[in-house]
Amino acid sequence: MKAISIGLLGLGTVGSGVVKIIENHQDKLMHQIGCPVQVKKVLVQNIHKEREVAVNQSLLTTSAEEIIDDPDIDIIIEVMGGLEGTKELLLKALKQKKHVVTANKDLMAVHGSELLTTASLNSCDLFYEASVAGGIPILRSLVDGLASDRITKMMGIVNGTTNYILTKMSKQGSAYDDVLAEAQRLGYAESDPTADVDGLDAARKMAILSTLGFSMKIDLDDVKVKGIRSVSEDDLQYGKQLGYTMKLIGIAQREGEKVEVSVQPTLLADAHPLAAVNDEYNAVYVYGEAVGETMFYGPGAGSLPTATAIVSDLVGVMKNMRLGVNGKSAISPQYEKKLKQPEEIYSKYFLRIHVKDEVGVFANITSVFAEHGVSFEKILQLPLKEAEEAEIVLVTHRSSLEDFEQILNKLRDLSAINEIKSSYRVEGGGR
Q: What string of H, E and C letters represents the secondary structure of 192-221?
A: CCHHHHCCHHHHHHHHHHHHHHHCECCCHH
First vs last Cα of the chain: how many Å apart? 60
Min separation Cβ 275 and a copy of itself, Å: 8
Please pick, from the candidates 146, 408, 414, 420, the single residue that binds a copy of itself as defined by CB under 8 A.
146
123 is an interface residue for a copy of itself by CB under 8 A: no
328 is an interface residue for a copy of itself by CB under 8 A: yes
Please pick, from the candidates 2, 50, 192, 290, the single residue that binds a copy of itself as defined by CB under 8 A.
290
Tally of CB atoms within 10 A around 200:
18
Q: Which amino acid is at 235?
A: D
108 is an interface residue for a copy of itself by CB under 8 A: no
Closest by CA to 327, choosing from 3, 74, 97, 67, is 97
- 302-321 mask for a copy of itself (x: CB under 8 A)? x-xx-xxx-xx-xxx-----
Part in contact with a copy of itself (CB under 8 A); list of ranges 59-67, 77-85, 144-152, 410-418: 144-152
Annotated binding-site residue numbers for L-homoserine? 190
Part in contact with a copy of itself (CB under 8 A); list of ranges 178-186, 244-252, 296-304, 406-414: 296-304
Please pick, from the candidates 152, 174, 184, 294, the single residue that binds a copy of itself as defined by CB under 8 A.
294
Give the list of residues 6+ apart from residue 104 with CB closer than 8 angstroms, or none: 78, 79, 81, 82, 86, 128, 131
Nearer to a copy of itself, 244 or 349 (CB): 244
327 is an interface residue for a copy of itself by CB under 8 A: no
Please pick, from the candidates 323, 359, 382, 387, the single residue that binds a copy of itself as defined by CB under 8 A.
323
217 is an interface residue for a copy of itself by CB under 8 A: no
How many residues make contact with a copy of itself (CB under 8 A)? 55
Cβ–Cβ under 8 Å, residues 218 and 261: yes
- Residue 426 gets the label, from left (phi > 0), alpha (psi -120 to 50) or beta, of beta
7 is an interface residue for a copy of itself by CB under 8 A: no
Cβ–Cβ under 8 Å, residues 218 and 241: no
Beta bridge partners of residue 248, listed in sequence order: 265
Q: In the sheet where 99-102 sits, what is the strand order? A: 60-61, 37-43, 4-9, 75-78, 99-102, 126-127
Q: List binders of a copy of itself among 30-89 (CB under 8 A).
A: 31-32
164 is an interface residue for a copy of itself by CB under 8 A: no
171 is an interface residue for a copy of itself by CB under 8 A: no
Part in contact with a copy of itself (CB under 8 A); list of ranges 46-54, 232-240, 276-284, 354-362: 276-284
Catalytic, 205? Answer: yes
- Residue 345 CA to residue 262 CA, distance in Å, equals 11
Catalytic residue among 40, 98, 205, 224: 205
How deeply is 257 buried, as exposed, middle or buried, from its count of CB atoms within 10 A (0-12, 13-18, 19+)? exposed
155 is an interface residue for a copy of itself by CB under 8 A: no
Cβ–Cβ under 8 Å, residues 243 and 269: yes
What residues are annotated to the active site? 205
Binding site residues, a copy of itself, CB under 8 A: 17, 21, 25, 28-29, 31-32, 129, 135-137, 140-141, 144-150, 271, 273, 275-278, 281, 283, 288, 290-299, 302, 304-305, 307-309, 311-312, 314-316, 323, 325, 328, 331, 334
